[in-house]
Structure 1
């Protein structure tokens, strides 16, 4: 056995070993296609900084687990502290379920019944160990990481489509995980590092050569992408969101910036930045002249640029200009912000060596993104769209785009989530009031917070007396549809692809798209 004084202190991380293959098991799920050989704890921790602990040379590990309820015999359990609970409260349960060792930021003491390793940062350690456990699948893929407040899902899915499609290019994002030969529903935009590496490992085994992943600020802050070998990192924009977590826009930006500066353990090989965003321009300035950065934009000079933008109810047209050429683009994606999203996807592919004129041949076959300006067509004589916009900036852009292509009234249904940043509620309502003719404010995942409190925060906006506050979301959608006439447009915003609502710990089925179709059919009957 190794005592406290015998563990290596302040050692540098060594390269991931490929001396063994083993049954991979992420959170208790075993992939039968893997050869069953298990690494031991000492191999996994070789060269990784540990502060104290006790471990056995011969302890074998079957899986890496962060949820004590999913521990199985042979698991290495990581006791992670969270916003609502702390994994250290459940180490005894992990022991009872068969964990062979505990990784923690606490000293569990000489009398603790099984091996443990005390580390400075358990999340960072989880990322490093996960990468080693799965034999560094990120080195076998060209990885693009996309971050930004708005547009991550559209840019990621559009990039995937343009550069090869879901059979060749993996995807980790808000809507789904594409693994080459199969697709899984997403359970988190940027999952825990152990799940990221498990997904990447499956992509490699399924023949993918590239992957695109959405990188959220929470994922960066909580070290889920620490040490990930990113080929291209893309910065889309930064607007107010998650301030309840980050506390300020400056802190929010500092977290996003880590993906580009090497603070996440590695620098990306290349960066793509939107210089129409002030924070994007700040990022470029702070990265310095030695960083390989390719910029894109509409309103500012950039390496890849759109000009002569024309918006229509069924398409968008613009001129695409890049250093070696230019061409006219006709896109099925609606609105100015989708021009920016398309620029981001084209620029990502461009820095990977792909030719824009070849990429855009595939644009007409892009099926769109579920819940992102998704058009609902059920024979009604007005336009109806469902969108995920849930920040004041996204709502302002959505309303602005629809206003430009709508000859009649613009009617918006939206809400503000509960147990989240309260300071964004009034700006969200203000953005909608400035852009829409009729506004229906309603429920959008109230969680444990009362709708009365949420509505009160929204009513801080001057002139909110003209807004219809309706607690039942289905009723609000129904009233909006009743108010719509020929040439009008109804936007149902906030939930997009989501198929549920959260009320005080209860998740209830609710899909804006299905509800809208059902109501239209009832009204047409």
Structure 2
């Protein structure tokens, strides 16, 4: 298990690779409202976490959702911070430390991190992928199709970071600018000329990618998620749109957009004419289109219509939504000048993504699938896909996260009851919210006649589902996917659905 502490240590090692001394006055040009003790100050790193401060660091005191960086200024100074940057810095305290007052600490961080690391985004061709569902699959698949011997491709996403000559466990989907730019710089040092990056709505709203040069922006879909943060779908869409219309910085050269999605259609209509648009989907109006789709338990086969002509594609990826993901990847490759026929030959060798429709096989006569589906749309797609390729019954274990969008809990339960024969609702990162309160919201979505049980212990819920499975059935364990912890009261407790399934199947085999 890669804990958050291990991730922090890995990031520290990456930062040490590029610990240059840079003049702070030049970095902060255009960002300063007020300053103190700034003359000839050289800084060796830019950090937002006081625990990662080393002598010579510039510490950005940023207000977060749960904590305020200003509360950790003294800790940063004690650890050797040479400069403090924020919106409410007390200019009179800590007289031996340089201080900069800025209007927007997050945007200042993005601009200064880019300068500090020599604008690596302008030397590497970046594909930025956004959307509610599918970002990790599309980014990982695209990297697989792009990479060639001696030609590494960088990746920044939910599961891991590939930096050309090294790999790090992922800490968050779209890292803070202080981490993002050294990652891009590390990719260049590792021989990458291209990078594929997941761009989350949180990352856009919090200016983590503000001013970044994204050559190709990709819009996969938009369905309900993160409304605890964005409040409504319009605000959610507006954030996603920023990397396409220039609000985030420079316009992308190419926009690849799901033409079947209502928000995708709207995005196409709203983009400025200088952005080249490539649409993908199942409808005839799309430039990249899948037709004659045949879905099987081993994958999918369909005819691809594209600017390169028509050709048959056989994919090991399950389900109709993965056909859409594959279309997006093919459109990306075409936009980068790659041969589509040459690229699709590599699809058969794609091993999938950790925790995305990942099968767990311990010799049992039923199927067990672990998936990250944690939105109503993603859960609906997963259940629909498994229904199409399962001879017997479909059993489901799922939960809803605490301290997150409460409105989707009812919808998730409705989808679960409609799509599965038997359902066990359980814990899924309850965080600081009582599980009984989460269950109360979920029960509002119960439908008459549905077979659903509420079980607080996730391991127990999985065990009950496995007990009910018979030959030819399928058990879907949804929500956590690749995650190897349960988040409870700000504590990450080790818990990996895949390992739990393996353990339980082994135990049950012993007592039979």
TM-score (norm 1): 0.92
Structure 2 partner of 1:82: 64
* Corresponding position of 1:19: none
Indicate how the Cα distance of structure 1 residues 497 and 37 shifts in structure 2: closer, same or farther if over 3 A, else same. closer
Q: CA deviation at 1:97?
A: 2.6
Query: C-alpha distance in 2, partners of 1:134/1:51?
Result: 23
1:439 and 2:391 equivalent? no
Q: 2:350 aligns with which of 363, 366, 382?
A: 366
Matched, 1:516 2:501: yes
Alignment of 1:98-113 (within 5 A): 98-106=80-88, 108-110=90-92, 113=95
* Corresponding position: 1:224 with 2:223: no
Unaligned runs of 5+ residues in structure 2 are 1-8
Q: Is the 8 A contact 1:275 1:300 kept in 2?
A: no
> 1:191-214 CA deviation, whole Å, 9 max, x = no partner?
100100011111110111111011
The Cα shift of 1:383 comes to 1.8
2:453 and 2:225 map into 1 onto residues whose CA distance is 24
Offset at residue 28 of structure 1 (A): 5.2
Asked whether 1:133 is paired with 2:116, we answer yes
* Of 334, 337, 341, the match for 2:321: 337
Cα distance in 2 for residues equivalent to 1:518 and 1:112 = 54
Counterpart for residue 66 of structure 1: 48
Choose which of 478, 492, 512 in structure 1 pairs with 2:463. 478
Q: How far off is 1:489 after superposition?
A: 1.2
In structure 2, C-alpha distance between the alignment counterparts of 1:479 and 1:94, rounded to whole Å: 49
SS at match of 1:211: strand
Q: SS of 1:195's equivalent?
A: helix
TM superposition shift of 1:186: 0.5
- Secondary structure in 2 matching 1:468: strand
Shift of residue 379, structure 1, vs aligned partner: 1.2
Asked if 1:327 is matched to 2:285, the reply is no
Aligned to 1:403: 387
- CA distance, structure 1, for counterparts of residue 143 and residue 13 of structure 2: 27
The match for 1:498 among 473, 483, 505 is 483
Separation in 1 of the partners of 2:177 and 2:495?
Answer: 30
SS for the counterpart of 2:43 is: coil
Report the CA distance between 1:374 and its aligned residue: 0.6
The match for 1:10 is none
Q: Which runs of 5+ in 1 are unaligned?
A: 1-24
Instruction: Determine the structure 2 residue equivalent to 1:239.
Output: 223
1:291: which partner in 2? Answer: 275
Normalising by structure 2, we get a TM-score of 0.94
Q: Is the 8 A contact 2:36 2:99 kept in 1?
A: yes
Q: Contact 2:14–2:182 at 8 Å: present in 1 too?
A: no
Aligned-residue offset at 1:89? 2.2
Alignment of 1:417-456 (within 5 A): 417-456=401-440
RMSD: 1.8
Distance in 1 of aligned mates of 2:407 and 2:51 = 36
Which residue of structure 2 lines up, in the alignment, with residue 468 of structure 1?
A: 453
In the alignment, the residues of structure 1 paired with residue 482 and residue 148 of structure 2 have an alpha-carbon distance, to the nearest angstrom, of 20
- Please report how far the alpha carbon of residue 108 of structure 1 lies from its aligned counterpart in structure 2 after TM superposition: 2.3
Query: In 2, Cα distance between the equivalents of 1:228 and 1:146?
Result: 13
Change (3 A) 1:98 1:506: closer
1:208 maps to which of 189, 192, 197? 192
Match of 2:159 among 152, 164, 175: 175
**Mean alpha-carbon deviation: is it higher for 190-199 or for 157-166?**
157-166
What is the CA distance between 1:434 and its match in structure 2? 0.9
CA contact (8 A) 2:174 2:203 kept: yes
